[in-house]
Amino acid sequence: MYHRIGDLKTDPWQLAVSPENFNSQIKIIKENFKTLSINELVKQLNKNVIDTDSICITFDDAYIDNYLVAKPILEKFECAATFFIPTSFIGQQQQFWWDELETILLHQYRLPKKIELTFNGQKFEFSLENETLTDRDRQDHQLWIWPNTPPTERCELYLKIWERLRPLLYEHIAYYMSEIRKWAGYEFGGSPDNFPMDSSQIKELSDHPLFSLGVHTQTHPALTSHPLEIQRSEIANCKTYLQQHYEKKVDAIAYPYGIYNDVTLSVVKEEQISAGFTTKGEVITARSHPLFLGRFQAKNIDGAEFKDQLYEWLDSKR
């Protein structure tokens, strides 16, 4: 499981792999393993047989670096991959809310001393003892990885707000992000390097024989926080959009944040989606249920270390 291919100032969720490391990782995969498309994987699951030492490569969230950086490397090594697309963000000239929140709180040089927000009728207050970002803060922010203890007040504030925003509908998240921008004096937008792909770029991926698209909902909600009608709308409308705009059958979903419940699974079955991917680090075997398939998150490590990691993961099923 990949998300981003690039060099980031901060990466608390470990979502980014540098272009150099990604190139070496895909080279290792090509030289030592067989890459399967998701369609091939589903066919094998239906037959209760999985090719030995085979790998599916997936990308979540449709960041523009998937097209600009990952695509040429995947083409060079002729490796199949699936890109899971949150359709409401296609072509948006702005960062995803979680990236913008990170930019404001962990990168902005100066912030107001106190923030006050109200979530679900409960008042949230947080005071910053040191409003100015220091060189030591920058270093601590760069090294911080969740779930390690936040090393600064800003990291603590980021996590507290992120936890409160994640369960909300996107329209409510957008409202709070607008309030946070105003509080911080932050100009809306951000670096284009952090934007999602546009429709023409996704179309190129869809038309490419190596690549396929998958459902990642419309607005990337935490599905388990929402009722049936919201989950159905998010999943069904995403699938319909992808099939209508890119003229290919879409047969797989990656659950945002890797989470799902019985309601989610009922919608996935209604939509006749054959494969569902979580974020649980678990090897897929012939006995795996096709609607909750595990994935291992690729970390920002070089090819040699990645090779050791791959064999460690594969050995865990033996």
Number of continuous H segments (helices) and E segments (strands) in the chain: 12, 11
Domain closes at, from 184, 204, 230:
184
In a domain, 173, yes or no: yes
Rounded-to-integer distance, Cα 235 and Cα 269, Å: 11
Read off the pLDDT band of 315 (50, 70, 90): confident
In a domain, 189, yes or no: no
User: What pTM, to 2 d.p., does this model score?
Assistant: 0.95
For residue range 220-249, what is the model confidence (pLDDT) as tens digits?
Answer: 999 999 999 999 999 999 999 999 999 889
- What integer pLDDT is reported at residue 177 of this predicted model? 97
- What integer pLDDT is reported at residue 22 of this predicted model? 98
192 φ, ψ (degrees, to nearest 5): -60, -20
What is each CA distance from 141 to 14, 111, 136, 183, in whole angstroms?
A: 13, 15, 9, 21
Task: Indicate whether 110 and 52 sit together in one domain.
Answer: no
In a domain, 277, yes or no: yes
CATH code, domain with 274: 3.20.20.370
Identify the CA nearest to 49 among candidates 32, 30, 31, 36: 36
For residue range 65-98, what is the model confidence (pLDDT) as tens digits?
Answer: 999 999 999 999 999 999 999 999 999 999 999 9
Task: Indicate whether 46 and 121 sit together in one domain.
Answer: no
198 φ, ψ (degrees, to nearest 5): -95, 175
In a domain, 121, yes or no: yes
Residue 162 lies in domain = 97-184
In a domain, 190, yes or no: no
Rounded-to-integer distance, Cα 204 and Cα 182, Å: 37
Task: Indicate whether 107 and 88 sit together in one domain.
Answer: no
Domain count, the chain: 2
For residue range 260-314, what is the model confidence (pLDDT) as tens digits?
Answer: 999 999 999 999 999 999 999 999 999 999 999 999 999 999 999 999 999 999 8
